[in-house]
Amino acid sequence: MGQFLDVPISYETSLLLFTMFLSLGVLGLIAVLGFWISLKLGVWMIILVSLATIVFDIWGMTIQGSAAIGFIVPAISLVYLFYNKSLLKR
């Protein structure tokens, strides 16, 4: 993974990046499925995964500036849920 980044990284950092990408992806899919079938847990999982993604991307920006693009979808998700508070009361 390090060959695609702006700065050289260690094997451990590369492994951490891969693990976080995989974890956030799997948790995001579970959250979306829960949201789709109208589970309140799905809404809260989307909030938690979105916040975790934003924190991960803040750290990722120290490695590569383009990690800021990762803020877009989680931010849209949080804004959507904030303005549709009825979804939180399912």
Q: Is residue 15 a part of any domain in this protein? A: no
What integer pLDDT is reported at residue 14 of this predicted model? 85
Question: What's the pLDDT tens digit per position in 67-86?
Answer: 889 899 999 999 998 888 77
What integer pLDDT is reported at residue 8 of this predicted model? 82
Q: Is residue 46 a part of any domain in this protein? A: yes
> Does residue 3 register a pLDDT over 90?
no
Q: Is residue 4 a part of any domain in this protein? A: no
Question: What's the pLDDT tens digit per position in 38-63?
Answer: 888 888 999 999 999 999 999 888 88
Q: How many CB atoms lie within 10 A of CB 59?
A: 12
Residue 52's domain comprises 26-82
Report how far apart, in Å, the C-alpha atoms of 59 and of each of 37, 40, 52, 77 are: 33, 29, 11, 20
CA distance 47 to 45: 5
Q: pLDDT grade, residue 90 (50/70/90)?
A: low
Find the DSSP H helices in 6-61: 11-36, 40-60
Q: Is residue 30 a part of any domain in this protein? A: yes
Whether this prediction's pTM lies above 0.85 is answered by no
Q: Is residue 74 a part of any domain in this protein? A: yes
Q: Is residue 17 a part of any domain in this protein? A: no
Closest listed residue to residue 90, CA positions, set 51, 44, 24, 57: 44
How many independent structural domains does the chain possess?
A: 1
Look up residue 40 and give its two tokens: 């309140």
Q: Is residue 12 a part of any domain in this protein? A: no
